[in-house]
Structure 1
């Protein structure tokens, strides 16, 4: 059985919190303030549109956290809610934790503008995983195994936090796409492998990919 201490969460870890609102669950994001093993958790109250999300004592909440290549899910009860100026919740300590492997091969369908660094070129990411993406463009970016630098931006719901990722990548494949119309200009599809996304942005990318599994389409710039 997985214990909470086995996850090795740090203060400031980003958590996904699910609150039941009528017949549906609403998903927000929050931050771990701290915990005492076997006793309680402290987390920030999430905000939406500048206002704290309403929660109350004895409410049952589900939390998810990304750690390494796993998603851990557990249920807590709200013991107390503290508003201005701190805005945090006191939760019961979880006694059961479910772990789900987040495979690197899971891909999220997106429509995400991408810029090739240092060049007047733009394309579209059509799907993305933790390790790479498929990019469609009007011209070929290069030959397979060529190195490129690219950047893209997206927003994480519900806070609309903007995440900008800049990374080097390796082209793994290039193919010309069939023309949608007669005499239409050629378009090319590329499979690229990310080389060096920093740990913080990697967590944000994990969030976006996982949101797609939950059926929550992230906002794209």
Structure 2
């Protein structure tokens, strides 16, 4: 079985706060339970890329049983001997392994037997892991009382983000309110978060105007924290090269 490290963040491209370790793991390390959601990279012959399955169960050293992969509402038909790459996030780790299709079953419902993983690669992820993104954001500066300033989120973690604006919006420690949306499994979730500006760097564009601001979130509501964290984890799994 070939090495799967190229499916996970590379330490050479990550900052000190991104990943702490990349190594081989055991099946038990993934702590998979019935109902867990996994991402499957399907063979090119299916005409589909990445899809999602849920764990039905497993027989140690023999097979993992998962639901038939779905891309949106479309079921992807795998056949015996197809090779897939499986990715999963569990606790503070991102995992990936290769598996072959042992059998695709249609009764009593559509499900798939995957070969038991022989090599599992993973990265230990710190809580402050940042991922690149490019999402529009509206910034309200409380002490200024002016109209909201549009900007772009350049990266985000569970504790803060980096944003870019064309106009100066404040000094260090200025309180701001950020309004933006994050996509989770195809659905945009609106957020309105209180934060503080921590640093500013001039970042001129072709017109000679622009600023980058490091922003720390204030204490987030549990629901907001879960949305931000879920977006970061989803990005780690689906787009590992965006980890910084």
Asked if Structure 1 and Structure 2 have the same fold, meaning a TM-score greater than 0.5 normalized by the shorter chain, the answer is yes
Runs of at least 5 residues in structure 1 that lack an aligned partner in the other structure: 216-221
Q: Distance in 2 between matches of 1:163 and 1:85?
A: 34
Q: Distance in 2 between matches of 1:171 and 1:101?
A: 29
Q: Distance in 1 between matches of 2:203 and 2:35?
A: 44
Q: Give the C-alpha shift of residue 129 in structure 1.
A: 4.4
Distance 1:86 1:142, change over 3 A: farther
1:128 is matched with 156
Give aligned pairs, total: 207
2:119 is matched with 96
SS at match of 2:89: strand
Structure showing the higher helix proportion among its residues: 2
Contact 2:158 2:228 in 1 (8 A): no
Runs of at least 5 residues in structure 2 that lack an aligned partner in the other structure: 1-23
1:218 is matched with none
Q: Give the C-alpha shift of residue 201 in structure 1.
A: 4.4
Contact 2:130 2:232 in 1 (8 A): no
Q: Deviations over 1:27-77 (max 9, x none)?
A: 333333333444432223232353211211232222111223322112222
Equivalence map 1:132-211=2 (5 Å): 132-155=160-183, 161-164=186-189, 166=191, 167-178=193-204, 180-181=206-207, 186-194=209-217, 196=220, 197-199=224-226, 201-211=228-238
Q: Distance in 2 between matches of 1:85 and 1:151?
A: 46
SS at match of 2:43: strand
Question: What TM-score results when the alignment is normalised by the length of structure 2?
Answer: 0.66
Distance 1:82 1:115, change over 3 A: farther
Structure showing the higher strand proportion among its residues: 1
Q: Give the C-alpha shift of residue 204 in structure 1.
A: 2.8
SS at match of 2:229: helix
Q: Distance in 1 between matches of 2:85 and 2:234?
A: 16
1:44 is matched with 67
Select the residue among 78, 97, 100 that pairs with 1:77.
Answer: 100
Q: Give the C-alpha shift of residue 9 in structure 1.
A: 2.5
Question: What TM-score results when the alignment is normalised by the length of structure 1?
Answer: 0.72
Equivalence map 1:18-33=2 (5 Å): 18-21=41-44, 26-33=49-56
2:78 is matched with 55
Q: Deviations over 1:103-131 (max 9, x none)?
A: 645542x3311234797443211233454
RMSD: 3.5
Q: Give the C-alpha shift of residue 91 in structure 1.
A: 1.8
